[in-house]
Chains A and B, each alone.
Chain A
Amino acid sequence: MNNQWLVLFFLVGALFVGLVLILANLIAPRSFNPQKFEPYECGIPTQGVTWLQFNVGYYMFAILFLVFDVETVLVFPWAVVMKEVGMVAFIEILIFFFILGLGLLYAWKKHALIWE
């Protein structure tokens, strides 16, 4: 089959969720109660706004992830042609990972990999 068939699977997923939701909306009961639509928080009404700024602590990891994920994108094409290109490809990837490893070591030494 052609690659265009992936559109079909997109549609199947969307139709599946959509149709089941329509069905559920048709057969599910409905009742009204002012307390019912409150978001859950220990059983008491929620305090303050939910969408506030807070320190997620993942910021450093997010930046590091960006670097290493782009690296993965570069590694895959290299991995495919590795057998054919041979020694040159191997030495190139050594240099590539050496620079990346220095980056990881730097982050490590700067305590960027410690959760606080």
Chain B
Amino acid sequence: MLTSFGIINYLSAQSGPWWRVFYDFTSLTKNIDAGLHNAMSPFWTTVTEMVIVGILFLLFYAVIGLFLVYAERKVCAFIQNRLGPNRLGPFGIFQTVADLIKLLFKELIPIKNADHFLFNLAPYIVIIVNFMVLAAIPYALGLHAVDLNIGIFYVIAVSSMSVIGVLLAGWSSNSKYSLLGAMRSGAQIVSYELSVGLALATVVILAGSMQLSVIVEGQRTGWFIFKGHIPAVIAFVIYIIAGTAETNRGPFDLAEAESELTAGYHTEYSGIKFAFFYLAEFINMFIVASIAATIFLGGWMPLHFGADNGFNRIMDFIPPVIWFFAKTFFLIWVIMLFKWTFPRLRIDQLLTLEWKYLLPINIVNLLIMAFIVLMGWHF
């Protein structure tokens, strides 16, 4: 009975060493699926798979969230020439876990005269949106929960839903700081949504598909940032700027300008509800970085130049999953550096940057890219 579970079958039937599985997860997942089908009826197979995938994503979410909070504090400390958290565990890696446990034990304060239904609904929306976007991202060859044929479009559409959670949180908590923070945040996310969409559309022209797996596969002969010449680089830069703005981070954190608005839209949230917003913000950063890595830097595709040569084969030795997370965390690191390098923008500067610079540049850039693809000048 137990041996019919795919993983054992798979590992024993494998000709190469066990770590070959890190290069291609397709056969592993297929084997698990087949093994479960052998062991039980189709209905229970689906239920078991759902439970497995759900638990895996929950763990992934928690680990990434906690790690990013830790990384943020370490990067901040590094820039400010401090040590950062260093007491709990080696290099203080358990600090955020301890913080989370502390937040769990904090009282959840119901605010007087707040709209309690919406107040409690807001964290749900923010977190659910996060999970639904994470489902569509290809993590490695065969590690792709839902491969939609409108992948990028779905990611843009769903991730822009999180603004509803932010607005609800700010409006319902009956605090002026929250309301102002939510309004600012809403306008900002909405404005920069355009640049994100157009920058990604630039690459969709090159890829000819919105399906994320097809886009990654299209970068087998070179990442799109190299394939698309200058327009792709410009689109990448615009995407990183707009993505930083969309996550309310870095120089664009007007929504929670602590010297003006206390904490912005989550001023009135206490304990674990505050932690949800905090976690969602960091996962949003991960999503922005991973989409940038997937669209422009090849996702899990190793660094390839040309069709098939020695360089590509050497690069293939590093497993795809490492490539994906290396690129993503590199971009996250860059976004973190922004926050600690640039001073905060004023609201008029923010809107000028979007409407008078990024948007016109983006449109012209899109047309240049279309022309390049039309003439066949890309690789």
Q: Measuring CB to CB, which residues of chain A are less than 8 angstroms from any residue of chain B?
A: 1-3, 5-6, 8-18, 20-21, 23-25, 27-31, 36-41, 46, 50-51, 56, 58, 61-62, 64-65, 68-69, 72, 75-76, 79-84, 86-87, 89-90, 93-94, 97, 100-101, 104, 108, 113-115
Contacts and interface: CB of A to CB of B under 8 A. Distances in A.
Nearest to B103: A24
B113 to A, nearest CB: 8
22 contacts: A1-B147, A8-B53, A12-B58, A20-B276, A21-B108, A27-B105, A28-B107, A38-B111, A39-B112, A39-B113, A39-B173, A39-B178, A41-B176, A46-B176, A61-B191, A62-B187, A72-B198, A82-B208, A87-B374, A100-B363, A113-B352, A113-B355
Contacts of A16: 58, 61, 127, 131
A89 B366 CA distance: 13
Contact of A30 (B53, B107, B153, B262): B107
Contacts of A86: 374
Given A50-B179, A75-B201, A90-B374, A39 B111 contact: yes
Interface of B: 50, 53-54, 57-58, 61, 104-114, 120, 123-124, 127-132, 134-135, 145-148, 152-153, 171, 173-179, 183, 186-187, 190-191, 193-194, 197-198, 201-202, 204-205, 208-210, 262, 267-268, 271-273, 276, 347-348, 351-352, 355-356, 359-360, 363, 366-367, 370-371, 373-374
B203 to A, nearest CB: 9
A18 to B, nearest CB: 8
Given A24-B104, A24-B271, A100-B363, A80 B124 contact: no
Nearest to A30: B107
Contacts, number: 197
A54 B111 CA distance: 23
A13 to B, nearest CB: 3
A108 B356 contact: yes
A2 to B, nearest CB: 8
